Amino acid sequence: MTASRVDLPGAAHLVLAGEVAYLDPPAAVFEAMLDGWARQQRVRFLKSDTIGRRLELVRRLFRFSNLYPWQWGASDVEAFIDGLRSGPRPIVVSTARGYLADLQMFLEYATDARYGWPAVCVERFGEAPQQVLGEWNTVPHTDGFEGQPGRRPLTYDEVQALFDAADGRVEQIRSTGRKGASAAQRDAALLKTVYAFGLRRREAWGLDVVDLRRNPKVPAFGQCGAVMVRWGKSSRGGSPKRRTVLLVPEMDWLVPVLEQWLTEVRPRFAPGAHPALWVTERRGRLAWRGINEAFVAARDAAGLDSALDLHSLRHSYVTHLVEFDYPERFVQEQVGHAYAATTALYTSVSDDYRNRLLTRALRDRGGILWETT
């Protein structure tokens, strides 16, 4: 058996019919190649949405260049990325790096003799796919944080303004006699929960009522002393990570909010046996889009920067825990970061906090006075 006939998942002879005369051979081989790459990724337990996104990226490059992978040159890929940098919604550096990495990965598959595609393409079209991406024309990762500058932690005043606006929407809807007051009250409780536990969107979406836990060390918090996160961010090819997030004393104002939601507001939706913590009028789990819309509505009502998004509340949580003087390791465990460096990227402590640290350090040394006026 030659190297090109190894029965690897995604090998050409396993996805491409042998004795078939195709009406459009290049298109048939291209689709079989994509099917093979999808199989190769599925056996590595990659998520279906990740695989689908990568396949669509390859198709986009094909539509842009009007060339098949065995015809691509470096200039074709570079022109594709350059075109995405212009227009009404230009891609950012991190997106370009991800696109190039995915295309480089696809070409590694297409050029690997063990999968048989180079031999198939030479036999049928007289040319084989080439690896046209490398260090010379991909985007290096040089900075720890490459997010948009406008996406930042909220200040304490901004967090309060956001929550006041969310609560204000409830009263506004009630005063007009329109439907939706209960949904607005749900949205307000949801946003407060996202901030008070430092949750990602998917983590908040996946919460069930049973995920609210008691903390034996803080019985005063009742059922809201902790949350079991079951839909944490997974590593590549892995299952969602789990963790328990403790409610810190500085966030104890959330307890009556959640208790009211559980005992008064949620029953109005008549969810029956549905396990979701956040339910809709149709007795289903609140969708990701609904969570985003809840934040945008409150943000705009509060007059906050439009660059702020739901994830900014998670950044705020990390920053504020640091300013509350919680140890870095505790903060890291609370938010489910594998590395302390990731937690550090989320942190943007205020000048007031840093000045308090300097004051404390100087006083501990003694003999040096720090101006407090």
Residue environment code for 145-179, b if the CB has 16+ CB neighbours within 10 A, otherwise e:
eeeeeeebbbeeebbebbbebbbebbeebeeeeee
Specify whether 110 is located in the same domain as 164.
no
Token duo for residue 273: 């046996």
**Residue 56, in any domain of the structure:** yes
Q: How many domains does the chain have?
A: 2
List the domain range (segments joined by +) for residue 337: 156-346
* Segment of 17-31, 173-187, 287-301, 328-342 carrying the highest mean pLDDT: 287-301
**Residue 360, in any domain of the structure:** no
pLDDT score for 2: 45
Q: DSSP characters for 62-113?
A: HHHHT--GGG--HHHHHHHHHHHTSSSSPPPHHHHHHHHHHHHHHHHHHH-G
Specify whether 32 is located in the same domain as 91.
yes
Specify whether 163 is located in the same domain as 96.
no
CA 278 to chain centre: 19
pLDDT band at 160 (very low <50, low <70, confident <90, very high): very high
**Residue 7, in any domain of the structure:** yes
**Residue 119, in any domain of the structure:** yes
pLDDT score for 325: 87
pLDDT band at 3 (very low <50, low <70, confident <90, very high): very low
Domain edge (last residue) among 75, 110, 125: 125
pLDDT score for 346: 64
- For residue 194, the surrounding DSSP H or E stretch is helix 181-197
How does pLDDT run across 174-226, given as a tens digit for each residue?
Answer: 888 888 899 999 999 999 999 999 999 999 999 999 999 999 999 999 999 99
Q: What is the mean pLDDT of residues 235-253?
A: 88
The domain that contains 168 carries what CATH number? 1.10.443.10
Region of 87 please: left (phi>0), alpha (psi -120 to 50) or beta. left
pLDDT score for 161: 97
Q: Across all residues in the chain, what is the average pLDDT?
A: 88
Specify whether 116 is located in the same domain as 227.
no
How does pLDDT run across 86-103, given as a tens digit for each residue?
Answer: 878 898 888 899 999 999
pLDDT score for 357: 62
Specify whether 7 is located in the same domain as 114.
yes
Residue 43 has pLDDT above 80, yes or no: yes
Specify whether 171 is located in the same domain as 312.
yes
Specify whether 207 is located in the same domain as 107.
no
**Residue 132, in any domain of the structure:** no
What is the pTM (predicted TM-score) of this model? 0.70
Strand partners, 226: 213, 246
CA 217 to chain centre: 32
pLDDT band at 46 (very low <50, low <70, confident <90, very high): confident
Task: Name which residue leads in pLDDT, 70 or 351.
Answer: 70
